[in-house]
Structure 1
Amino acid sequence: MALRLPRRAGRRTNLGLLTLLVLAGATGLLAYAVGTPGPARVVVAVHGAAGLGLLLLVPWKTVVVRRAWRLPRSVRAPGTAVFLAVLVVLTVVSGVMHAVGATGPWAGVTALQVHVGAAICTLVVLGTHVWGRRQRFRTTDLQRRALLQTGALGLGAAALWGGLEGVLRLTGAPGARRRATGSAERGSGDPEAMPVTQWFTDELPADPPRGVTVVAGGRSVVVPVADLDRGDRVRAVLDCTGGWYAEQEWSGVRLDRLLAGLDLPDGGSVDVVSATGYTRRLPLADAAHLLLATSAAGTALSAGHGAPVRLVAPGRRGFWWVKWVVRLEVVDAPWWVQSPFPLQ
């Protein structure tokens, strides 16, 4: 018996695919920024459901594709459509591989790197593919039938994501042990086992810093590295956007102790600057929870992990944990007056 495909497919199918792709892209970007477990779990769940929800529209999209192949070649633009389809498949497959624990690397490339790279290319090609097409949202899309279809798609996508997570936990697959952000554990309690990674715009400095310059209220004080280990300790999770996390006990000095006695503005921030020029701005209100660490798990930091001193910022993703810190500068400006992600 031949498989019967749905007959009614067209504008709403394409709009549904477009919505899911944009939602997956937006939540994927947001997942890089959110480090606290609760919000991260919600963002990652929506991201995964949006990606898997694309599979639900494949039967309808097949009808659209078959219909398009009857059009003149100049109208249907097969090259762009096929390239976009390949990129979407690669994005979904690599994302599922990372989720189930098949993270790699293979030939130096991880599943997450393939996922992110393919996703970026997908969104670029998607913009080219939809440009000039007149399949837009209409007021009729708010009618009861259309809203019920949208709700069914959302529930189906959530069920797919929930089913995958359930299977991982029932089978005890490596992916079941992912953190809320989707990161896999690497080197907890063993700093030497942590991967050596940094933000793609940053690099290992040629000369390690010998001290940290603290600037506040017109004063400038240089604190030698030897004076930065004051016995303050915090157990925190370094959750890297590269897809891994590690929990360590970090030791050094809290920022509020280092800034004690200085003229600090109300509502101000502190710029944490690396020897490479890499900078992140954090609120002074968080100073009691931030640490300049010189060691992890009782072992001095290695050069790749930020020696001699790095910032520990609990609840924030890895790109906030500035390595090779050379300068702390208190500024009378909100912490959010900066790019969401490092540009330098």
Structure 2
Amino acid sequence: MLSIAKRDVPFDVTAAFDLLIPPSRFNNTRFDNYFPNPNYESQSLAKKVTSEFILTKTKRPRRTVIGSLGLKAQPKPGKGLYLDGGFGVGKTHLLGSMWQACTVPKAFISFVDLVNVVGAFGFEASVEKLSELSFLAIDEFELDDPGDTVLISNLLNRIIRRGVDIATTSNTLPDKLGQGRFAADDFLREIQGLAAHFEVLTIDGPDYRATEFHIEDEPRSSDDLVTMAASMPNQSAVSSDSLFGLLEALTRLHPIMYSRLLEGLALVIVTEAKTIDSLAAGLRFVTFTDRAYEHGIPIMIGDTSLNGLFSASILSSGYRKKFGRALSRLSQLRDEGERVVAPI
């Protein structure tokens, strides 16, 4: 059993563009294995619209010929598709399916990683690199930070004018569902000049994790988790760190390297957990959780319940949507961890 808090992961700026493919959890997402909930017609419609969007993309030329002799070609502006909905309705599955079905130059990246990539590479270099694409899929577009929103909106405005089609997802807060499509309204307002290029597609339905997994949980002790994990045959694939030690390690590492921190692991154990009161620490842990979720690496947390992991002030902050998603994902990762340490 190892400590990832003690791992030496040097910053490698060239690694940033290695992230432009779907993470392992979404390797097998296809339109054929997206099964709409029959009680929500919008899910069937979303499957139809997203598949047609990609089919059209593969047939549509990127450039429009100007002039009778065809001597001058100008980029044809790209199109945008925004998937709006609550947690766990299959938005990322559909986004991954679009990427898998796309046959032209393409990339898949989360909003947070895209912000980090631009920060690492620089704005103009990122524009040039992403303009080589024909299709860009952005998961979990976030409006929490005005600076990040402006940065990415400007970036997308540049590349969409160069003919890049964009599809992105975001979450409507559970308490806002049915109230004027809160997230979609915010998205269109914040991207301003880009809004005319985007079609909004709303996907209704419950969070599938709410029926398959349980956020209400009795905490296991750290000692119990370590004892359970000690029975796993490959101890080099198991990490065990205190929550404080892990959070401290995350402060020393650029977020684009969090995936490298998790390489080779089959289970992450977090011991001696207490309520996280610091917003900055909470946001780093959310990013770490997202990377673990995307790569299918279970996280088991000892000594506190998921409901007690983040303080009330954090959960009511402007980033509450991000923390809500993290708790939904942590509930799934915890249950997947139970199956890893005690396989059926």
In the superposition, the TM-score normalised over structure 1's length comes to: 0.24
Q: Which has the larger radius of gyration?
A: 1
In the superposition, the TM-score normalised over structure 2's length comes to: 0.24
Structure with the larger helix share: 2
